[in-house]
Chain A
Amino acid sequence: AQTVTQSQPEMSVQEAETVTLSCTYDTSENNYYLFWYKQPPSRQMILVIRQEAYKQQNATENRFSVNFQKAAKSFSLKISDSQLGDTAMYFCAFMKHGGYRTDNDMRFGAGTRLTVKP
């Protein structure tokens, strides 16, 4: 079974500063996807960034980037130039690669509550 661990229940950062959220996972799969989702107070899950395990290059999306270490099973999220609107819960998630399969579900970490302070 896949497990996802986020060891930082809460973090805070000053506006415009950089913060890194950590995530580790455990799997015997070789091909899979990793995600970071943002859940603001509205509770709508918003995809922040996605990484495909077979790609060595770290994914980036504007101010968001990841440090994907496959051998170490680590997938951290770096938020640069933090903004007040980044305040939210952040979930790391794992999904097996594949199409028609009943175990193609997403497994989530416990989440990290990030607060950006003015």
Chain B
Amino acid sequence: GAVVSQHPSWVICKSGTSVKIECRSLDFQATTMFWYRQFPKQSLMLMATSNEGSKATYEQGVEKDKFLINHASLTLSTLTVTSAHPEDSSFYICSAAFGGPGTINEQFFGPGTRLTVL
């Protein structure tokens, strides 16, 4: 099956610093990537959708200047949490999908990144 990796798997940073999380599709070209956030014992909440070469589409309530998403190639998307604060501590999960119009029928999930902001 399609494999998606995330790096790092766990990161601790100081408040006010920026953190970059990478999401890679290892064996397929991802036309679309999604970023989710999951707080402890809660469900996945979509943050943004990114298509290769286009600006990301953010969900309502997600600050685009705080959570910078770059989908520079068909195999890599990055999420940068700028000026991180303790309330940004969470589990961040990316997923990737491929296919042309009418063919996307599944998303493949990365293993997630645990962010802890001190």
Q: Which residues of A contact B (CB under 8 A)?
A: 33, 35, 37, 42-45, 47, 50, 52, 91, 95, 97-100, 102-111
Contacts and interface: CB of A to CB of B under 8 A. Distances in A.
Contacts of A111: 42-43
Given A43-B91, A52-B105, A91-B43, A105 B34 contact: yes
Contacts of B46: 105-107
Contacts, number: 65
Contacts of B78: none
Interface stretch (B12-20, B66-74, B80-88, B94-102): B94-102
Given A91-B44, A106-B34, A44 B109 contact: yes
A111 B42 CA distance: 8
A45 B6 CA distance: 13
B93 interface: yes
B49 interface: yes
Contact of A95 (B44, B45, B107, B109): B107
Nearest to B59: A105
B97 A104 contact: yes
Contacts of A43: 38, 91, 93, 111-112
A4 to B, nearest CB: 9
Contact of B43 (A42, A95, A97, A108): A108
